[in-house]
Amino acid sequence: MKNGKLKRTIIAWLLLLPLIVVTIFPFAVMFLTAVKPRTEVLTPTWWPSEFRWSNFADMWVATGFGQALVNSLYVSVLATVGAILISVPAAYAMSRFRFAGYGAFRQFLLISQMISPIVLVLGLFRLMAAWGLVESTTALGFIYMAFNVAFTVWMLQSYFDTIPRDLEEAAWMEGAGR
């Protein structure tokens, strides 16, 4: 029994090995190129004559990578926190309260996800230019947040629908507020 399972495992790994090599190969080439001396980067050598770990520090300084990383973190946190702060109450309200136009609004959320963001670029640029926010990381964070709100509301509403109303009623009986 164990022998058959071992044989299947070995066969599975042998079949997966080419896929693993194809997946890891580009990363290995990138890494080896990153640690090569500058004179060897464009030459067709696989292994560098010496490993230059200082290339990473030089890249960090020369490209302003630190500021780019800070900007990316700022935009990501702003977009994520903003989308969650807007989407959670909206999704909860859509899940628990039926209102006029509920179905149309839910369809609007779904259809808005089918619009390519590239269609909105010119309008967004004009809007940001009018507000004086061109080349602003804050504006970029707000735009990403706006693009994600519809999807987040859609997903969270589906999640809130799975929470039993009895659980909320039990909490109300214990003194929790809505």
First to last CA, the chain: 57
Angle separating helix axes 65-96 and 102-112, nearest 10 degrees: 160
- pLDDT for 78 equals 97
| 42 CB neighbour count, 10 Å cutoff | 9
Angle separating helix axes 137-162 and 102-112, nearest 10 degrees: 130
pLDDT in tens, the chain (178 residues): 588 889 999 999 999 999 999 999 999 999 999 999 988 888 888 898 899 999 999 888 888 888 999 999 999 999 999 999 999 999 999 988 888 888 888 888 888 888 888 888 888 899 999 999 898 999 999 999 988 999 999 999 999 999 888 887 888 888 777 6
- pLDDT for 38 equals 86
- pLDDT for 1 equals 55
Rounded-to-integer distance, Cα 113 and Cα 116, Å:
8
- pLDDT for 39 equals 86
Rounded-to-integer distance, Cα 21 and Cα 126, Å:
47
Distances (CA, A) of 74 to 135, 148, 150, 166: 14, 16, 21, 40
- pLDDT for 31 equals 94
Q: Domains in the chain, start-ordered, CATH in brackets?
A: 2-62 (no CATH), 65-173 (1.10.3720.10)
